[in-house]
Amino acid sequence: MDQQSDLNWNLLRMFYVIAKEQSITKAAQRLGLSQPSVSNALQKLETQLECQLVFRDSRHFELTTRGDKIFQECRDIFHSAERINLLGRDAEEEERGRVRYLIVSNLISPMLDEMLRLYHQRHPSVVFQSEVKNSQSIVRSIQQNRATLGFCLLARPLVNLPSIRLFREEFSVFCGAEHPLFGQESVNLRDLQREPFISFACATEGMGLEPMTVLREGMRLGNRINGLSTNIEEIRRMIVAGLGIGLLPLMTSDEDVRRGDLWPLKISDEPIGADVYLVHAPMEKLSPSEQKFVAIVQELLALYPDMA
């Protein structure tokens, strides 16, 4: 007889409980079976293994030498099975899932970096997926249930969607190296108002969502537009090429200024800026992974208010 292939694991588990409880009666209670059923299972296993496992009578219970060795093996086997089961539950708790978010291009943010780092540290099995869009498209996608999370620039919080203010992004008006105003320490706003302008495409659609619209219109720039794009890199390219002046984030333009490709045109001491928000669908529409991401954002804002 091939004992290994014919080994009955249910009988082994019953024996493991019997040996652990040191009693057939207690084992039957733990297993929710009748005492005769458990006793018969022990006898079947002894027959299958062709050896006695337990010395037993009405007053005494003791494992045989062979029975004790088999009990030790069973203990290792079933402890391993329990650990595997726990690992499976742990994986579910880690929440294998996906966090997809939309984001404006070239957003440099230590806060956003920390959000991703902390989330991954706590939930390493979650996959992140990002897609670059302009702020107007991000808001529209969330409103139309085509997305649930988005990092965008807003002049003010939205009325119909949860909007969490994260931090302020500073902007400046820039010109390229070939522009006549390149290198000037200060300029007159009236002179800039006559200059051709490179604009974000969404800033000309009248929706008022992209704060560049507010910034541009507040200074009355862009009466003549020489370039349009929804991509900040293309805006930068046109400004560097000398097609016109335009608004760009300060942090993303430092290297271009150092190389001499761009020049910030200082108009006044008042900084030009716009607020970065996390906009998301109502919490009940978010997946568990996305809800935890929003919770981490709120946690970081509460812990480090100076980051905002």
Condensed to tens digits (0 to 9), the pLDDT of residues 9-20 reads 888 888 888 888
pLDDT of residue 217: 61
Would you say 101 and 150 are in contact if contact means Cβ atoms under 8 Å apart? yes
pLDDT tens digits, 143-202: 998 999 999 888 788 888 999 999 887 888 899 998 988 988 878 778 888 888 888 765
CA 288, CA 126: separation in Å to the nearest integer?
11
**Cβ atoms < 10 Å from Cβ of 156:** 12
pLDDT of residue 204: 47
Closest-CA residue to 130 (of 145, 144, 151, 110): 151
**Residue recorded with tokens 């800033």:** 203
Q: What are the Cα distances from residue 293, in Å, to 21, 97, 143, 155, 297? A: 46, 12, 19, 24, 6
Task: Please state the separation of Cα 262 from the chain's center in Å.
Answer: 35
pLDDT tens digits, 133-144: 888 889 999 999
CA 28, CA 39: separation in Å to the nearest integer?
9
Closest-CA residue to 68 (of 118, 31, 19): 19
pLDDT of residue 270: 56
Task: Please state the separation of Cα 249 from the chain's center in Å.
Answer: 25
CA 256, CA 115: separation in Å to the nearest integer?
28
Closest-CA residue to 247 (of 206, 209, 210, 216): 216
Minimum mean pLDDT among 15-29, 80-94, 121-135, 211-225: which range? Answer: 80-94
- Asked whether the predicted pLDDT for residue 99 surpasses 70, the reply is yes
CA 307, CA 137: separation in Å to the nearest integer?
26
Amino acid at residue number 73: E
Selected residue with higher pLDDT from 95 and 271: 271
pTM reported for the whole predicted model: 0.56
CA 43, CA 76: separation in Å to the nearest integer?
22
CA 120, CA 169: separation in Å to the nearest integer?
25
- State phi, psi for 247 to the nearest 5 degrees: -90, 135
Extract the tokens encoding 164.
Answer: 């969490």
